[in-house]
Each structure stands twice: as structure tokens, then as C-alpha cells.
Amino acid sequence: MIRRLRSLPHRHHGIGTILVIIALAVVCLIPPTSEYWINELGQFASVPLNTAFLTTGILGLLFLARRDRSRAAAVRVAWVMLTETALVHLLKTAASLVRQFGLTEGVFLPRPNGSSGGFPSGHAAASCALAFLLTERMPRLAPLWYGIAALISWSRVEARAHFPYQVVGGAILGLTVAIVVTQLLRRRAARLEKLAEEGESPRFAKAETGV
């Protein structure tokens, strides 16, 4: 099992990351358009598609983890998505506090409509983190997972819910959290395996790793 965890599908993640980079480049270089069908696509990807992707993606991964009796897989999904969500809200709250305490004039890191909560984009962060997790489980479908994440990220600018830098920040945050948490959990699993091979009890191994 540990060997399987260590075999990170770098090639598939690389292909997906390229798709996200292309989408972010489009977001930064091409301003929102007034074309009706593009606006409709942006609105669809921004809300219905995002909701469906996150809901079915997370539930699907948890279902597969239960089917495979893999507690590690379920824990990875929970830790990645909860950590990403917590950091997004922490950054948004910090920006709001900066404004409330008068450390800056006006709204700090606002949305295009002037309201607070602009940085980072929670949609971009969550969709990119989920795309990473789905690629870990189903690497051959990486272009699909990352393509959806890229479309959702682009839609947040097209729907005028975020500025480009806010979407870029969210995408980077989501991918970074997914990578870091996955690597930390891998190291923990490897340490537990090593302790088990040395003949130490699971209880002692858990105490050693602080779990």
C-alpha cells in the first residue's frame, strides 16, 4: 500500500497543471467579454458546475475509500479539503479585519463589485485541490479533472465575482495545500510502516507519530 502511495502520477498532474496555467493566463490576459454565450458559460461554471463538481467529487472519493476499506484515502480527502477551506476563510477574515480596524482605506482586497471577501477565490482553491485528489485516484482522467477546475477558475472572473489575481491566488493555494498535505500523510504512513516492520505495536507507533 505504501509503495502505491509513493507512486505519485507526476505526468498526469503535470498535464493538469498545464491546463490550469493556460486558464489562468487567459484570465489574466483577456478581460471578461460581453458575448452572451460566454457569459452564460461563465455563470453556469461559476455556480451549478462548481457545486456539482465539489459534491460529486468529494462524495465519490469517500465512497471509493469506503469500498476499498482505505481509511488513509478518506483521511486524505478530509484533511485536504478542510485545510484548504480553513485557509481560504482565514485569509478572507484577515482581509476583513484589516479593513475593520482601519489599517487601510476602503475595502481591502475587494471583489469587482466592491464587497469584501475577494482574496483568495474559494472556488478556484477548492476545485484545484479536488482536481489533485481525483487525479491521485483516477490519473488517466487528469485532463478532465483539471479541465473542470480550470473552467471554474476562469468563470469566477468572467462572472465578475473576482479579479484575476484573486483566482490565481486561490488556485495556487488549493494545489499547494493538496500537495503538502498529501506528502505529509505519505511520510506519516511510511513511518508507521517502518515502525511496524521493526516489530513495534500499533499503539506505540501512533504515539511516536503523534496520531
pLDDT in tens, 112-161: 877 777 889 999 999 999 999 999 999 989 989 999 999 999 999 988 88
Residues 6+ apart with CB under 8 A from 30: none
Q: Which three cell numbers stand for residue 84?
A: 484548504
Residue type, 108: F
pLDDT per residue as tens digits for the range 50-72: 999 999 999 999 999 999 999 99
| Residue 49 reports pLDDT greater than 90 | yes
Q: Are 183 and 53 in contact (CB under 8 A)?
A: no
d(CA 29, CA 195): 52
User: In this predicted structure, what is the pLDDT of residue 207?
Assistant: 45
Are 6 and 186 spatial neighbours (Cβ–Cβ below 8 Å)? yes
pLDDT of residue 63: 96
Q: In which band, very low, low, confident or very high, does the pLDDT at 3 lie, cut at 50, 70 and 90? A: very low
CATH of the domain at 160: 1.20.144
The larger pLDDT score, comparing residue 117 to residue 199, is at 117
- Given a cut of 50, whether residue 41 has pLDDT beyond it is yes
pLDDT confidence of residue 9: 52
Task: Name the pTM for this structure.
Answer: 0.81
Torsion of CA 108, 114, 119, 121, to 10 degrees: 170
Between 142 and 195, the higher pLDDT residue: 142
2 assigned to some structural domain: no
User: Does a structural domain hold residue 1?
Assistant: no
Number of domains in the chain: 1
In single-letter form, the type of residue at position 67 comes to R
125 or 186, greater pLDDT: 125
Are the C-beta atoms of residues 13 and 133 closer than 8 Å to each other? no
- For residue range 71-113, what is the model confidence (pLDDT) as tens digits? 999 999 999 999 999 999 999 888 777 666 655 554 557 788 7
Would 3 be classed as within a structural domain? no
pLDDT band per the 50, 70, 90 thresholds, residue 10: low
**What per-residue confidence (pLDDT) applies to 174?**
95
Whether the CB-CB separation of 192 and 139 falls below 8 Å is answered with no
What stretches of 76-197 adopt beta strand conformation (E)?
Answer: none
203 pLDDT exceeds 90?
no
Grid coordinates standing for 133?
A: 485528489
Longest dimension (CA), the chain: 66
Could you list the residue range(s) of the whole structural domain that residue 162 is in?
9-28+35-209
Structure letter (DSSP) for residue 112: T
Q: Contacts by 69-75 with C-beta closer than 8 Å and gap 24+?
A: 72/1, 72/5, 72/185, 72/189, 73/137, 75/185
pLDDT for 96: 73
Which has the closest alpha carbon to 78: 135, 130, 146?
A: 130
First to last CA, the chain: 19
Q: Where are the alpha helices (DSSP H) in 70-121?
A: 71-100
In a domain, 158, yes or no: yes
Using the predicted structure, report yes or no on whether residue 205 has a pLDDT greater than 80. Answer: no
